[in-house]
Amino acid sequence: MHRPASGTSLHPWFRHVRKCPVPRLRLICFPHAGGSAGFFRSWAGLVPDDVELLAVRYPGREDRFAEPPAQRMEELAEPIAHACAKLAGTPLVFFGHSMGASVAFEVATRLAAAPVAAGLEGLFVSGRPGPERLRYRNLADASDEALVEDLLAMSGTNAEVLANPELRELFLPLIRADYRLLDAYAPKVPPPTLAVPIVAYYGGQDEHVDEDAVNAWSAVTRSSFATRSFPGGHFYLEQHAAPLVADLFAHLSSRTS
């Protein structure tokens, strides 16, 4: 598991990764299954100076370790949407990887339905099929060995953590809880749901997310849609964080230029 992220807590659901006194926008990042706010600490030096970077703090990990993990998507999306609404006044941008893409989408749909718009400028999703193309892998109740094998194959979890019996004992129940949440997740997608631009990223060698599955995100927005692939598997962004963040802000700049 990742160490606690740097920065201070803005709210129980957010952690400051990079502060900005008067931000022109806030980039809010949603971690993957088993992931935490600390996953995005390396992004602090990649965002423009006038952007505030926040990462979502899921219960059950880091400094919310004592809290039980969420069991249903609603337990994440609804309070996070409420917290985002309190940030109205500064434009918001969402980035979510894997499970985080689904959480970000659900938060975005709730903000879109809110009486007062929270100013979402874009939804950037990564390593996740569009809502209508989701396939459930049913790994929540797999054996420890099968689960570890799958996690190592995706290269998103430190091998040292999984090799350490004590750390693995702490981590596997958390990843099982997140997988169980995803297995129970049934998105309601009356197309097109959103009116914000969507950009979908994926790893070209990701065995679980192909180009067709990523293109399915186009069905949930009335605005523009684009995709980009990077070399690598499911956790391609660990090696390509800088060009990924640069591409994200290039898309945002093209809308305002």
Contact, 75 vs 184, CB < 8 A? no
- Assess contact for 162 and 172: CB atoms under 8 A: no
- CA distances 66 to 59, 60, 174, Å, are 8, 6, 12
Q: Which of 150, 123, 161 is nearest to 30 (CA)?
A: 123
* 124 within 8 A of 96, measured Cβ to Cβ: yes
> Cα dist. 79→14, 109, 149, 193 in Å?
11, 13, 33, 20
80 secondary structure, DSSP code: H
Q: Count H helices and E strands in the chain, helices first.
A: 7, 8
Instruction: Tell me 6's DSSP state.
Output: S
| Residue 98 is among the residues annotated as catalytic for this protein | yes
Q: d(Cα 92, Cα 188) in Å, to the nearest integer?
A: 23
Structural tokens at position 180: 């169980």
CA quadruple 54, 34, 176, 233: dihedral positive or negative?
positive
Identify the CA nearest to 31 among candidates 66, 67, 85, 69. Answer: 69
Query: Is 223 known to be catalytic?
Result: no
Catalytic residue among 36, 98, 102, 126: 98
Q: Which residues are annotated as catalytic?
A: 98, 234
